[in-house]
Chains A and B, each alone.
Chain A
Amino acid sequence: MINIFNLSTGEALMLSSALLIAVGLFAIITRRNLIRMIIGLEIIATGVNLNFIAMSIFKHGPNIDPTAHALTVISIVLDGALVGVALALTLVVYRKFKTLDTDEIRKLRW
């Protein structure tokens, strides 16, 4: 069993990123508001990006591998694009449906 009080930096970061992802997934499943869901998505993204850093530390110790950081930066950029589109879409959704409650927006089914 892992001793949570005696973790290396890499392990701690890994664990916390896993927690972040779990929190994000939980948020995205339980929240009905579209903005909150997007925030949940962002939490997952943060967790995943953190995991990159964690892995680089876990693998290489103090000698940090720059690849992971480069990849993280790229993925944050991609994430920004995703959020941009998501928020734009949210605006349109609000204009169309006058609500952001995703349980209400269910014209498409079956």
Chain B
Amino acid sequence: MLPYAPWIVWIFPLLMSFTHFIWERISKRLRDFIAVGTGFVSAIFAASMIPDVLNGYTYVNGVKYTIPFDWVAIEWIPTPGVSLKVGVMVDPLSVLMANIVAWISSLIFLYSVEYLHGDRGITRYWMLVNFFIGAMELLVLSDNLLMMFFGWEGVGLASYALIGYWYEDHKEYWIDNYPPSHCGMKAFITTRVGDVGLLVSIVIIFLYAGTFNYVDLANNASWLTSLAKDGLLFLTLILLFLGPIGKSAQFPLHVWLPEAMAGPTTVSALIHAATMVKAGVYLIARMDLVLYAANMVSNGAAYEYLYNFFLVVAWIGAFTAFLAASMGMVANQIKKVLAYSTVSQLGYMFAALGAAGLLMEHGEAFVDAFMAGVSHLFSHAIFKALLFLSAGAIGHAIESYMLKDMGGLKKYMPKTFLVMMAGALSLSGVPPFNGFWSKDSILHGLMGEGLYSLYLILAITAVMTVFYTFRMMGLAFFGGESSHVKHLIEEGHKPHDPGLYMMIPLWVLAIGSAISGFLIPSVANLFAPAMEEIGIHAEILNEVYFFSIDRFVISTVASVSMPIAIVLILAGLIPAYYGFITYKFDVKSFIEGNPILKGLWKFLFNRWYINAFYYKVFVNGVLGVSRSIFNYVETNGGGAAIKASYTLISNAVRKIQTGVLRMNLVYIALGILLVIYLILASL
């Protein structure tokens, strides 16, 4: 580990984010260089923690610590009874997350140098993205819930500002009928609903446990049992889960993510791949480990409640996966398709992590499901960054993200097509791309442990995933050129592949998508010491096929889920192939001609009417209530009464300040009498 690595990883970007306006004065190139460099410095420091985690111990100032290594440095706020400490945690989950965040976002930064070249607010952009990753690294590396919450809020704040980056609300940046600033606001308010629940549950946990620290929470289960005794455990955990639901855009708070693409595409890539939405997954993975250990310590005293909680997590994840995939099949913008696919893939992760919680009593199965969720997080980060950045390259070339404005781009942008195809294959789970390995291990795990209903939903979702992925690819790259593209060519703006700064990250990520599936066992090996720490011992781990590469590959390929996976892929690919790649089958007239399908299409296109429902009930409702409060309470009725009453009281009380010197001296005399009376009366 480089010295102070777990601190520098998050403090450095946070500090640097406030300096860009200085560099800008000197030179714009210097500013870009420093901003990208900040990302890479943070990434290198993050990477330097990997060997320590693999070895299971670390040296700090010559003292050996075992992993998870809880580095408490500063007594923060001395308070009677308890003490709050600032600390960072070096454990497999945090190091894995830190590396994903730092490396993916560094590549995205490199890409943005060319992508945003010439934009006016680019200093603001660098400040916000550096702050964004700093807050995210704080979130993942903190060793307690409170600091984690600070990072959580920092991420929310930065995402709000970045989604509304084009705050002038020019018409070209609108998403359907919403200007970017509106989209930023929507994201902020929707996630805030979840954050309130998270904060409440953190406070409840603190009141019961007297600590925010993960290690203390894991090792001392008395908070778990006493919460269960008071009947609050399930409620508290659900409140906690509200945070991830909002942040990771799960049903019913998924509505903000499709609009979150109003910002620059690089921001969408950051939000979807590396930061922001992964925060919720991270928190649930963290709680998986904490609750597993606490459950072990308390001998399953509160298992019943935990089981119910993880049932909710798994089902919300599975349902969201299905819901979002169904919306993705009809979406009309390339970024919207990708946004729905993110929601859907996050649903997979929640389903896997929830299933891990359900299997808490069986060590081996827990590790299986947990590792499946975590490795899907890992592969999704890579291929989703790739897909978004490729979409950004398309948008850069044709200045539109509408699928109807594309078509036939394969001829003009061959390199972009190639790298995006890698992402698409990965997303649809085609072997040997990384998406296949992780998605297959989720499905495999669910089937193997007998959670058939979850398995069924996610398998259907997998078909839908393949379908919308290739529909998107077909509409964008195959078929004839759209009128928009033709128009561009006539004007002399022939669509072309992007330049070097944008291509390097794309190639890196494309190669990563292709081969990183074989890194999953290494990722798993990262976790071995932590698993030991929470009570899952080597003999159990040896049963888990995740931990060695040959067994991982062989057991995945040779298992019953492999042929099923191929069937699922073909089931999605064939209709997409005939409908959107070769255009042999006219989908449009087929849907137009069938009233049921047309109704279904409309239902899906309007996002199950959930969004409209929220707008009607919450937005209009709140505005209506506040308007009537403003009219009847603030200006005319109650507000005036409050103002009048405090004016009255204040005017009455201030009369004691007479301004007559003798009265003041009388007060002194009376004060002497009061003090001596009070002393003597209470003696």
Q: Which residues of A come within 8 Å of B, CB atoms?
A: 25, 28-32, 37, 102-103, 105-110
Contacts and interface: CB of A to CB of B under 8 A. Distances in A.
Contacts of A30: 662
Interface stretch (B261-269, B279-287, B358-366, B652-660): B652-660
Closest 6 CB pairs of A and B: A109-B659, A106-B659, A102-B661, A110-B654, A29-B665, A110-B657
A97 to B, nearest CB: 13
13 contacts: A25-B669, A28-B665, A29-B662, A29-B665, A29-B669, A37-B661, A102-B660, A103-B661, A106-B658, A106-B659, A108-B659, A109-B659, A110-B657
Contacts of A28: 665
B666 interface: yes
A102 B655 contact: no
Contacts of B660: 102-103, 106, 109
Nearest to A30: B662
Interface residues of B, number: 11
Contacts of B657: 109-110
Given A106-B660, A110-B657, 9 more contacts: A25-B669, A28-B665, A30-B662, A31-B662, A102-B660, A106-B658, A107-B659, A109-B659, A110-B655
B675 to A, nearest CB: 15
Interface string B636-661: 00000000000000000011011111
Main secondary structure of the interface of B (DSSP, over half): helix
Contacts of B666: 29
A110 B654 CA distance: 5
Nearest to A34: B661
A29 B659 CA distance: 14
Contacts of A108: 659
Contacts of B661: 37, 102-103, 105
B666 to A, nearest CB: 6
A7 to B, nearest CB: 24
Contact of B662 (A102, A107, A109): A102
Contacts of A109: 657-660
A32 B662 CA distance: 7
A28 B658 CA distance: 17
Nearest to B653: A110
A109 B653 CA distance: 12
Interface string B221-261: 00000000000000000000000000000000000000000
Contacts of B655: 110
Nearest to B650: A110
Interface string B654-683: 110111111001100100000000000000
A30 to B, nearest CB: 8
Nearest to A32: B662
A32 B663 CA distance: 11
B663 to A, nearest CB: 9
A108 B654 CA distance: 12
Nearest to A109: B659
Contacts of A32: 662
B662 A103 contact: yes
A44 to B, nearest CB: 11
Contacts of B659: 106-110
Nearest to A102: B661
A108 B659 CA distance: 6
A108 B658 CA distance: 8
Interface in B163-199: none
A6 B657 CA distance: 47
Contacts of B665: 28-29
